[in-house]
Amino acid sequence: MRILIIEDNRDIAANLGDFLSDRDHEVDYAYDGVTGLHLAVVNEFDAIVLDLALPGMDGLEVCRKLREDGRKDTPVLMLTARDQLEDKLTGFESGADDYLVKPFELREVEARLEVLARRGQRVKPRELQVADLEYNLETLKVKRAGKSIDLNPIGLKLLEKLMTASPAVVTRRELEHHVWGEELPDSDSLRVHIHSLRAAIDKPFDTPLIQTRHGIGYCLVAPDEVSAST
């Protein structure tokens, strides 16, 4: 699993991260709410371990923004020292999938994360849609305004990443990793494939969906969301 740990106590984060890494999980870290939210939105994780008491933005707000603004359904295991029922209910209302009270057993954390990750895989959407652009993940068919669009395998991978993250920005590094893994191509390959993707899903239509964020990456945004952000 690829897991994001958002925990301001570095000792707790290190202990948990070392345990998970030793068991062949890939672990990323954030030590405040703002950084954690950013990483959770622009990256793909199998599960997130989220502390409730965080500097900058607390865990409840991170989870709420992840669901409502980031439109991400990544499973979230919330950690907290608060053990009252009302605290747990508040955590679930913010979008958390599970709740674990400190102190906790490391093996229990892993077990809960594995359950959440399997659950997340089962509910993975079969079709993505942004504005009039549709992508069926089972048939690999792409349509815009009812018109079929043919894309090569790399174009399909880029489109899935951009549509899943929409309207958030996906960094160049994330796109390259999603398509080519650790064997990254030369610096111009991504630009060439994005150009081809634009030619297929934007050029034949009146309103472009793919936006460039210079020096950062790309995003795929519905026209009304572009207007709302300007």
Overall average pLDDT of the 21-32 stretch: 94
Q: What is the pTM of this model?
A: 0.56
| CA–CA dist 40, 34 (Å, integer) | 10
Burial 137-162 (b: 16+ CB within 10 A, else e): eeeeebebeeeebebeebbbbbbbbb
Instruction: Provide the CB-side half-sphere exposure for 224 (13 A, CA).
Output: 3
Instruction: Tell me the average pLDDT of the chain.
Output: 87
Architecture of the domain defined by 2-122: 3-Layer(aba) Sandwich (3.40)
Burial class (CB in 10 A: 0-12, 13-18, 19+), 202: middle
What are the residue ranges spanned by the domains of the chain? 2-122, 127-229
pLDDT band at 80 (very low <50, low <70, confident <90, very high): confident
Nearest alpha-carbon partner for 38 in 189, 217, 226, 159 = 217
- Say yes or no to pLDDT of 138 above 70: yes
The residue among 157, 127, 147 whose CA lies nearest residue 139 is 127
pLDDT (tens digit per residue) in 167-220: 999 999 889 888 887 777 776 899 999 999 999 999 999 999 999 999 899 999
Give the pLDDT confidence of 31-52 residue by residue, as tens digits: 999 999 999 988 889 999 999 8
Please identify, in words, the CATH class of the domain defined by 127-229. Answer: mainly alpha
Average pLDDT over every residue of 131-152: 92
pLDDT of residue 83 exceeding 70, the answer is no
Instruction: Residue 125: count other Cβ atoms within 10 Å of its Cβ.
Output: 11
Crossing angle of helices 189-201 and 172-180, in 10° steps, is 90
Percent residues over pLDDT 70 in the chain: 91
Q: How far apart are CA 134 and CA 78, in angstroms?
A: 33
pLDDT of residue 37: 93
Give Dmax (Cα) for the chain: 57
- Phi and psi, residue 185, nearest 5°: -80, -175
Map tokens 């009302």 to a residue.
86
In the sheet with 76-80, reading across from the earlier edge strand, the strands are 26-30, 2-6, 47-51, 76-80, 98-101
Give the integer Cα–Cα distance in Å for 132 and 27.
36
pLDDT in tens, 107-125: 999 999 998 888 766 555 5
